[in-house]
Amino acid sequence: MDYRKIAEEIYEKVGKKENLISAAHCATRLRLVIADNNKCDSKAVEDIEGVKGVFFASGQLQIILGTGTVNKVYDEFLAVSGLSAATKAEVKQAAAAQQNVFKRAIKTLGDIFVPIIPAIVASGFLMGIMEALNFMVSNGFLTLDTTSSVFVFAKLFSNVAYVFLPILIAYSAAKAFGGNPYLGAVIGMLMIHPDLQNAWTVATEGVKVKQSVWFGLYDIDLIGYQGHVIPVIIAVWVMCFIEKRLHKIVPEMFDLFVTPLTSVFVTGYLTYSMIGPVFVLIENSIINGIQWLIALPFGIGSFIMGACYAPTVVAGVHHMYTVIDVGQLGVFGVTYWLPLASAANLAQGAATLAVALKTKNAKTKSVALPSAFSAFMGITEPAIFGVNLRYFKPFICGCIGGACGALFASVTNLGASGTGVTGIFGILLCLNMPLQYILMMAISIGVAFALTWMFGYKDEAPAAKEAPAAAEEKKEISAPVMETKPGTVYSPIEGNIIPMEKIKDDTFASGVLGQGVGIEPAKGQVAAPFDGTVTTVFDTKHAIGLTSNDGMEMLIHVGINTVELGGKYYTAKVTEGASVKAGQLLLTFDKEAIKNAGYDVTTAVLVTNADEYSKVSVIKTGAGEEMDEIIKVEK
């Protein structure tokens, strides 16, 4: 591979030096911040040899090149462009500066809600299960003792995340705004203090207590903020604003008690007297407006929203929808928005699947097929950016399919008991209406697939067949000479082995970099998964590339976004070019320190040349020991 040529072509297509602000790379992606997206021909970049995908994310142009290639292309790119090497943090800062206020606000919402989604999902799933059980018991389909401790406790557990949601949001928001998260949690506690009337009782009991504020200027209702989102976020932003400025002006010897006390007291009074009442009114108006749109006759509003959902993912504003979901759950007990999102996601997956089945182009198929299944699980970015937008018509067909599925969801009044999970597994949040959810899926998938198959995609010219001599050379290189079992990958880490699709990184989960598994480490050490050669040891030590003696290429990537640590907490035990035996120690890492720094330590173990095999099989998931057989490849 001519790395210089690749770098020169990328440099040319992104608009040359006058359009470049900074450049960095991680284990798999070249990350560029560019001045004007319109001057960048991303389609042409994707067609460059060695480029496996291109997408814009977080203000960056991210070019997927893969392990062992990206660092070499990056070095050549710096030489061609004349740019200086930048750290990942510097690139993120430059990218954030390029975004407008609206996009920065949307990113902040994502930073607040993404960390608490697991808690919301867990409660939502359990709420759905409990509602389904209650329905079956009430209608005689099931005999169950609803007074048993298991049932009673499960019912308590099911809504706990929503009862104390303001605390979760406040803690996460304080971290996002750069304040003390524990002071943020205190603000969340103030907003659901038991001395305030529970907001969910107002509809039936009316307002019980009022309080005069600002020296008798006006009265406010002493009502809690259960189920509310926007007032909590605004209150915590105010607290962080006050706290950070007090840290600068209060003498260090008084800072420990003056700053927290002042920050919480001032914010609390402002929240009760002004912020809360005003932003509750604004939030309710937004939720009622959205509900009015969804409830338009004949499902017209939902049809429009189902069609527009995928374009908002492209624009990067879809993180704000969690606010809508949570708000509707607080007001209506279910969210009518999540089924619309599910319809849109499933439809984009179906459009990608149609491309995958129709194309004869090996590269397109290798990207489209795993991306389609990823979209069916609710992760649509690989499908949208990697396939549908590239050909555009499949994207439009997916939007139409999403609109039709959303229309059906609206007409049948389909609502979900929680948020955070869309696609096929979204049915677990709709167990009170499973048939309607299944029909919604069938409509979304069927319409999008059929339209794409008939009108949305015309196959490219088939890729040239491999020359016999090249095939013979590859066969000779791949001859099995391992002392261990040929074509077998042994677990490099002790821990919980999970399917690749569950890795919380779209690039790994979609399979665009290869096929394999994720491992949640039990110990901080990585061993060689087979006999072979170390091809790449990244400067940041968080990722290693290897090639087995029979030609299998592998990436072991310890953690998600851990390139940002700059090598901290990692120690490499081998160097590039070293021959290794299965079980030999490759690197060590401080698992707890990495987690405490806010990073997921799930490790991707991927066969990066999977397209050279007829089958890549995962032969073990769940608890695993180091050197257990986990992956098998077949020629």
Q: Is 26 a catalytic residue?
A: yes
**Residue 452 in contact with residue 400, Cβ under 8 Å?**
no
Q: How far is Cα 119 from Cα 159, in angstroms, rounded to an integer? A: 10
Q: Which of 67, 25, 59, 22 is nearest to 566 (CA)?
A: 25
Beta bridge partners of 527: 585
**Residue 235 in contact with residue 276, Cβ under 8 Å?**
yes
What's the helix, strand, coil split of the chain in %, to 5?
55, 15, 30
- Given 26, 397, 399, 430, which residue is catalytic? 26
Q: How far is Cα 199 from Cα 418, in angstroms, rounded to an integer? A: 19
Q: Which helix (H) or strand (E) holds 264?
A: helix 252-270
Q: How far is Cα 428 from Cα 16, in angstroms, rounded to an integer? A: 49
Beta bridge partners of 547: 533, 553
Q: How far is Cα 189 from Cα 552, in angstroms, rounded to an integer? A: 54
What is the SS3 assignment for 534?
Answer: strand
Please list the alpha-helical segments (H only) found in 271-412. Answer: 276-294, 300-315, 321-332, 337-358, 362-376, 381-383, 389-391, 393-411
**Residue 236 in contact with residue 175, Cβ under 8 Å?**
no
Burial 78-108, CB ≥16 within 10 A → b, else e: bebbebeebebeebbebbeebeeeebeebbb
Q: Which of 84, 114, 239, 268 is nearest to 174 (CA)?
A: 239
- Given 25, 318, 319, 557, which residue is catalytic? 557
Q: Which residues contact 497 (CB under 8 A, 6 or more apart)?
A: 491, 517, 518, 519, 620, 621, 622, 623, 624, 630
Q: How far is Cα 260 from Cα 257, in angstroms, rounded to an integer? A: 6
What is the SS3 assignment for 545?
Answer: strand
If you write DSSP's letter for every residue of 462-482 in order, what string do you get?
PPPPPPHHHHHHHHHHT----
Q: List residues with catalytic annotation.
A: 26, 557
